[in-house]
Structures are given as C-alpha cells and as structure tokens.
C-alpha cells in the first residue's frame, strides 16, 4: 500500500486467502528484491487472463524493475497459448503511460472509471 497511485481499492473485498489461492491455482507471481527487501511484485491470473497486480515501491520506480516484472509476466502468460490478456488502471496516472508505452491497447472504461487495456498474444510476440 506504499504506492503513490493505483492502490488496490478492492483490497477490502478480498479475503485473506484470495491471493494465496490464485498463486496456488492458475496464477503466478514474481518479486524483485534489492538487498533482501521486496521492492516490487507482479501477479498474473491465468484463469481470468488478467494482470492481477504490478506494483513497485516508490523509491525504486524508474529503474526498470516494473518493466522487467511486466515482461516476465507477459512472457509467462503467452507461453500458455492464451490469445489476449487484460488489465485496468486509473486514468491520468504513470501506470496508464507505462502500459501504453509497453504496447497495451485501451479498449474501454470499467464501471469504476478505470481504463480497460488489452494485449494480444500476436502483438506481444511481434513487439
């Protein structure tokens, strides 16, 4: 919860075991550590074909950590032969810029006002 933008507003609706169940089921997660401290993490939900989370501690932003986690996660998604992945994020944030620069396509707006993005397997593999 130390991130400056895009805090998971839905955390209050998650039960304590939701993330663990995802990671033990159809999900996968990665962390980035600096000097033994986790400074970023990403979680992929294969069953929902969506990015569950990608967050970096503020003091470690703009060092390539987010892009490495992102690219690792996307390679993992598409190694499972799914056709596309989606995510949503708040408009007007650095995350929006990050995803646009990574090649994601905005396809609409969620009911909560977040931008809905998609990445196709073909687009990812030909980037």
Q: What is the pLDDT of residue 70?
A: 98
Residue 4 is assigned to a structural domain of this protein: no
71 lies in some domain: yes
Phi, psi for 102 (deg, rounded to 5) = -85, 0
Domain membership flag for residue 17: yes
Q: Is residue 2 part of a domain?
A: no
Quote the pLDDT of residue 112: 92
Q: Report how far residue 64's alpha carbon sits from residue 72's, in angstroms, rounded to the nearest whole number.
A: 12
pLDDT of residue 7: 45
What's the confidence (pLDDT) of residue 16? Answer: 60
Whether residue 3 is contained in a domain is answered as: no
Walk along the chain (127 residues) and give the pLDDT tens digit of each residue.
Answer: 444 555 444 444 456 676 666 677 788 999 999 999 999 999 999 999 999 989 899 999 999 999 999 999 999 999 998 999 999 999 999 899 999 999 999 999 999 999 999 999 999 999 8
CATH code of the domain in which 96 resides: 3.40.630.30
In this prediction the pTM is 0.85
Is 1 contained in some domain?
no
pLDDT of residue 127: 87
Domain count, the chain: 1
Sequence-ordered list of residues with C-beta below 8 angstroms from that of 59, at least 6 positions apart, any chain: 39
- Asked, for residue 65, whether it belongs to a domain, the answer is yes
CA–centroid distance for 23 within its chain:
14
Please report whether residue 52 resides in a domain: yes
Domain ranges, residue 111: 10-125
Which pLDDT value is given to residue 22? 67
pLDDT at 5: 52
Model pLDDT, residue 11: 44
């Amino acid at each position: 919860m130390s991130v400056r933008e895009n805090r998971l507003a839905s955390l209050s609706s998650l039960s304590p075991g939701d993330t663990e169940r995802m990671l033990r089921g159809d999900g996968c997660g990665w962390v980035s550590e600096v000097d033994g401290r986790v400074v970023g993490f990403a979680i992929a939900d294969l069953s929902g074909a969506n990015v569950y989370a990608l967050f970096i501690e503020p003091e470690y932003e703009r060092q390539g950590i987010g892009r490495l986690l992102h690219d690792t996660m996307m390679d993992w998604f598409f190694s499972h032969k799914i056709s596309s992945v989606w995510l949503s994020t708040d408009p007007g944030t650095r995350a929006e810029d990050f995803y646009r620069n990574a090649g994601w396509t905005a396809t609409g707006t969620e009911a909560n006002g977040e931008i809905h993005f998609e990445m196709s397997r073909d687009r990812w593999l030909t980037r």
